[in-house]
Amino acid sequence: MESNYLKEDKTLVLKITEELDHHMVEKLRRKADYEIERHIPRKVIFDFNQVSFMDSAGIGLILGRYKNISILGGQLELINVNEQVEKILNMSGVLKLIKINKEECA
């Protein structure tokens, strides 16, 4: 996972560079939590540009970070989500809480 913090608008962009499966999620969870604690951003953006697969562990990762950033008064967004991952997010109900920003695609 690559991270980029934009000070001017207090946005943390987390670019996921691995598949979101149970093998990778723990490492990604620790890195995301570290970056959120370090910067305390107003907005966290997960960039899914390089993600083609996600299982229930990935859903847990997203929901856990959503809870953490909400407690801090911030918001979480998803960008560059492919059709397959969007389908999983929709079926799981995640998209009722977290929006996919289709305009902020890189």
Helix %, strand %, coil % of the chain (to 5): 45, 25, 35
> For tokens 């397959």, what's the residue?
84
Where do the structural domains in the chain lie, given as residue ranges?
2-100
User: What pLDDT band is residue 100 in, cutting at 50, 70 and 90?
Assistant: very high
**Tens digit of each residue's pLDDT (9 = 90 or more) over 22-66:** 888 999 999 999 999 999 999 999 999 999 899 999 999 999 999
pLDDT in the model for residue 1: 83
CATH classification number, 2-100, choose in 3.30.750.24, 3.10.180.10, 3.40.50.720, 3.10.20.70: 3.30.750.24
